[in-house]
């Protein structure tokens, strides 16, 4: 049951798709104080907190303080509080079981047992919000009700489930063709090559650098003949440059975010000085969204939206102030204190919370300060594109994912989890974060596989792929100045390619499970406890996940480990794949086991009463043969599987013609 409570005059975020009547009476479970800006709950020793979407730490969020404040911070270390998304939904499971969704687009602190281990303390900046309290049988049931409330998750075209190769940046047409050629030569599956900011002319959105990419349409056509898609990046900031069409149009129509005096606000990102499109304003959103057509006309069918927290590298006022202060330093006798001070001041130039107070939006005819609705920007940038695609290409699915997000955005696009590092701990973080993202509706998501920053190693990339093949977005992306991270850059290219080939063999299953999860408001990647709520050990397992209805995975995430301990809540059949082929299979009883999983191996556990369909595989999603499937599962039992398939672009997901009930022969 969902109960909705209104406080003050909330900003309409349009996070919920279904409208609930506001409840009368007092809010259950949580105690509300300080005029509504603080919410408390006393926890029991064994209480668990699930949710909060894109955040660091565990599946169980207890014991840290998280902040909903979309933030461009590439240091995803254990002590930070905010990442790029703001996902204010959690479920408490223990002596009571309930879910809370705080629909509030400003900054929120979720102190989940940080100040006091037994207490949840939530702090908002003002008391204008909608609070949903959801009760149900268990966390899975509560999450499902929540997901229904917020509406169906975005479903990308089928090719987007293939492998994508990215790097900051493939700078020229030749380089892109080389990437394609290298994949072909090495027999590495491929469905997409990503273009980072250098394809643009001086980082100007909706332009193409004609020297580096003389004919993008021809290039995308050439790739399409090889079943590969080009996926360009779009950044939130529009370069300030007289004569540049997008800048001129935006300025003329008042479509950019403003200063208090009504002039266009100037921030800075990759192109240096930028204006931000006021995507909270419906007209500006329409205008910005339709700009994507420029690239769609060149055969582009997918985009990634970046820098949309929005990122402000510096503001002019603050930088000038910093320069003035520097002058004072020339008059002092230098010491260590000055170095520390300067470091702090330099760091404070970037994404400074005070700068966000100077930005103004024009939302539904009202002037509103950005600070109050900071967390809606990335959401609405992606919504701009999503709404435009719906108008311009109603019969087609276009790939779209974003860095920054708020709940509600999950209906328009997916997310990637930003600038992680080539660290083993970030592989583990990826594993733990996925179910929380799914709870908040972000099914189409994934991390930069192999790690974005820092130099990766072959074994880390291999282990990461062995997990990544189960995440809907499967993209290898790395930063400039890091070691090359394409699969052909390593000694064991064949083994790395083999893991991707396993992904393609699994695609009939993974795609079916994804679409069914979206349509039925289910989890695609779930913690064990969601399926085994009565198993008290299952709720403590943080490094194994359920993928759809049939399988459990237990990735290896430690360097030099040749296997790992796993917990089985029930009897399951273990298949160990060596690259894309089954190397061993065995039935394991419920309980704890040590399993051997060498570097080139991936372990998949099939649940009893379920089947895992496998196809023969291929190098592109379009090549897969969905008619000839092999079924994995227990030999001695009856089981069937509901397969979903469509033409990869159509949107009638509920059409019974897309579903086939298959039985083991």
Closest separation between CB of residue 315 and ligand GLC, Å?
Answer: 19
Closest separation between CB of residue 620 and ligand GLC, Å?
Answer: 24
Closest separation between CB of residue 330 and ligand GLC, Å?
Answer: 34
Q: What is the dihedral of CA 488, 492, 494, 499, to 10 degrees?
A: -100
Question: Which residue blocks in 226-263 are alpha helix, DSSP H?
Answer: 245-253
- Token pair belonging to 495: 């083994």
What phi and psi values does residue 172 have, to the nearest 5 degrees? Answer: -140, 165
Closest separation between CB of residue 312 and ligand GLC, Å?
Answer: 14
Residue nearer to ligand GLC on the CB measure, 285 or 403: 403
Identify residues 86-105 at the interface with ligand GLC (CB under 6 A): none
Q: Which of 121, 309, 362, 522 is catalytic?
A: 309
Closest separation between CB of residue 166 and ligand GLC, Å?
Answer: 8
Identify residues 564-623 at the interface with ligand GLC (CB under 6 A): none
Q: What is the C-alpha separation between 269 and 276, in angstroms, rounded?
A: 10
Active-site residue flag, 419: yes
Burial of 659 (0-12, 13-18, 19+ CB in 10 A): middle
Q: Please identify the residue of the shown chain whose CB is closest to the bound ligand GLC.
A: 168
* 8 Å CB contact between 352 and 251: no
Q: What is the C-alpha separation between 473 and 401, in angstroms, rounded?
A: 9
Question: Which residue blocks in 123-274 are alpha helix, DSSP H?
Answer: 139-150, 173-186, 216-225, 245-253
Active-site residue flag, 235: no
Identify residues 383-442 at the interface with ligand GLC (CB under 6 A): 403, 418-419
Q: What is the C-alpha separation between 430 and 54, in angstroms, rounded?
A: 10
Residue nearer to ligand GLC on the CB measure, 441 or 453: 453
Contact string (CB under 6 A) for ligand GLC, positions 205-234, x = contact = ----------------------------x-
b/e sequence 559-578, b meaning 16+ C-beta within 10 Å: eeeebbebbbbbebbbbbbe
What phi and psi values does residue 418 have, to the nearest 5 degrees? Answer: 80, -160
Residue nearer to ligand GLC on the CB measure, 206 or 511: 206
Q: Which of 419, 513, 543, 646 is catalytic?
A: 419
* 8 Å CB contact between 495 and 459: no
528: left (phi over 0), alpha (psi -120 to 50) or beta: alpha
Residue nearer to ligand GLC on the CB measure, 419 or 646: 419
Closest separation between CB of residue 311 and ligand GLC, Å?
Answer: 8
Closest separation between CB of residue 452 and ligand GLC, Å?
Answer: 6
Q: Which of 93, 111, 306, 580 is catalytic?
A: 306
Contact string (CB under 6 A) for ligand GLC, positions 37-66, x = contact = ------------------------------
Q: Which of 111, 306, 466, 601 binds ligand GLC (CB under 6 A)?
A: 306
Q: Quick one: DSSP state of residue 350? A: T
Identify residues 152-171 at the interface with ligand GLC (CB under 6 A): 168
> According to the binding rule CB under 6 A, does residue 197 interact with ligand GLC?
yes
Size of the site for ligand GLC (CB under 6 A): 9
Q: 382 pairs with which residues across the strands? A: none
Identify residues 240-269 at the interface with ligand GLC (CB under 6 A): none
Active-site residue flag, 272: no
Cis peptide, bond prior to residue 310, ω within 30 of zero: yes
Altogether, the residues listed in the chain come to a count of: 665
Q: What is the C-alpha separation between 593 and 564, in angstroms, rounded?
A: 8
- How many angstroms separate the Cα of 90 from the Cα of each of 5, 49, 101, 546? 16, 7, 7, 19
Q: Which of 47, 196, 301, 646 binds ligand GLC (CB under 6 A)?
A: 196
- Token pair belonging to 634: 């227990």
Residue nearer to ligand GLC on the CB measure, 383 or 477: 477
b/e sequence 525-534, b meaning 16+ C-beta within 10 Å: bbbbbbbbbe
Closest separation between CB of residue 477 and ligand GLC, Å?
Answer: 6
- Token pair belonging to 184: 């072909």
Contact string (CB under 6 A) for ligand GLC, positions 477-516, x = contact = x---------------------------------------
Q: Which residues bind to ligand GLC, rule: CB under 6 A?
A: 168, 196-197, 233, 306, 403, 418-419, 477
Residues annotated as catalytic are 306, 309, 419
């Amino acid at each position: 049951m969902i109960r909705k409570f209104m406080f003050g005059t909330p900003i309409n975020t349009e996070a919920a798709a279904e409208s609930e009547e506001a409840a009368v009476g007092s809010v259950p479970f949580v105690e509300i104080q300080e005029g509504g800006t603080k919410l408390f709950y006393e926890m029991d020793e064994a209480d668990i907190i699930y949710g909060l979407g894109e955040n660091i730490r565990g599946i169980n969020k207890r014991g840290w303080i998280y902040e909903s404040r979309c933030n461009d911070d590439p240091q995803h270390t254990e002590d930070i509080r905010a990442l790029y998304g703001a996902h204010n939904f959690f479920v408490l499971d223990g002596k009571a079981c309930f879910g809370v969704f705080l629909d509030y687009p400003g900054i929120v602190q979720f102190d989940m047992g940080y100040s006091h281990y037994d207490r949840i303390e939530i702090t908002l900046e003002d008391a204008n919000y909608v609070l949903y309290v959801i009760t149900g049988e268990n966390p899975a049931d509560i999450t499902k009700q929540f997901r229904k409330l917020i509406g169906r998750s975005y479903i990308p075209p089928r090719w987007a489930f293939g492998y994508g190769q990215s790097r900051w940046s493939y700078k020229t047409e030749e380089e892109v063709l080389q990437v394609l050629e290298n994949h072909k030569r090495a027999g590495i599956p491929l469905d997409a090559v990503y273009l980072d900011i250098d394809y643009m002319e001086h980082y100007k959105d909706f332009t193409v650098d004609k020297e580096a990419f003389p004919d993008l349409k021809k290039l995308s056509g050439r790739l399409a003949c090889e079943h590969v898609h080009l996926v360009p990046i779009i950044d939130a900031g529009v370069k300030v440059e007289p004569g540049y069409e997008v800048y001129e149009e935006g300025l003329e129509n008042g479509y950019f975010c403003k200063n208090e005096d009504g002039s266009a606000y100037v921030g800075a990102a990759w192109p240096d000085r930028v204006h931000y499109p006021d995507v909270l304003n419906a007209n500006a959103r329409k205008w910005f969204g339709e700009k994507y057509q420029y690239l769609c006309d060149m055969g582009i069918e997918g985009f990634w939206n970046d820098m949309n927290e929005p990122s402000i590298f510096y503001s002019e006022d603050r930088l000038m102030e910093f320069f003035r202060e520097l002058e004072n330093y020339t008059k002092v006798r230098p010491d260590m204190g000055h170095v520390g001070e300067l470091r702090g001041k330099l760091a404070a130039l970037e994404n400074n919370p005070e700068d966000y107070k100077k930005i103004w939006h024009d939302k539904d005819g009202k002037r509103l300060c950005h600070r109050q609705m900071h967390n809606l920007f990335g959401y609405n940038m992606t919504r701009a594109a999503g709404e435009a695609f719906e108008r311009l290409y109603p019969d087609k699915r276009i790939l779209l994912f974003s860095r920054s997000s708020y709940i509600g955005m999950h209906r328009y696009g997916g997310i990637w989890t930003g600038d992680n590092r080539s660290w083993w701990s970030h592989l583990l973080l990826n594993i733990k974060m996925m179910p929380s993202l799914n709870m908040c509706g972000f099914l189409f998501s994934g991390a930069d596989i192999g790690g974005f920053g820092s130099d990766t190693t072959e074994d880390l990339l291999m282990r990461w792929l062995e997990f990544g093949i189960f995440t809907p977005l499967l993209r290898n992306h790395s930063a400039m100045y890091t070691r090359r991270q394409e699969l052909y850059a390593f000694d064991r290219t064949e083994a790395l390619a083999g893991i991707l080939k396993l992904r393609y063999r699994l695609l009939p299953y993974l795609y079916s499970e994804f679409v069914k999860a979206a349509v039925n408001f289910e989890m695609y990647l779930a913690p064990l406890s969601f399926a085994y709520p009565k198993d008290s050990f299952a709720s403590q397992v943080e490094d194994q996940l359920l993928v759809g209805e049939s399988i459990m995975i237990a990735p290896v995430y430690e360097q030099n480990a040749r296997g790992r301990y796993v917990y089985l809540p029930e009897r399951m059949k273990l298949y160990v794949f060596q690259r894309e082929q089954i190397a061993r299979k065995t039935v394991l009883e419920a309980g704890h086991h040590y399993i051997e999983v060498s570097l080139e191996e991936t372990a998949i556990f099939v649940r009893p009463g379920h089947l895992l369909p496998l196809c023969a595989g291929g190098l592109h999603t379009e090549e897969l043969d969905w008619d000839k499937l092999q079924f994995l599962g227990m030999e001695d039992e009856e089981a069937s599987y509901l397969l979903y398939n469509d033409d990869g672009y159509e949107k009638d997901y509920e059409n019974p013609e897309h579903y086939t009930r298959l039985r083991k022969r």
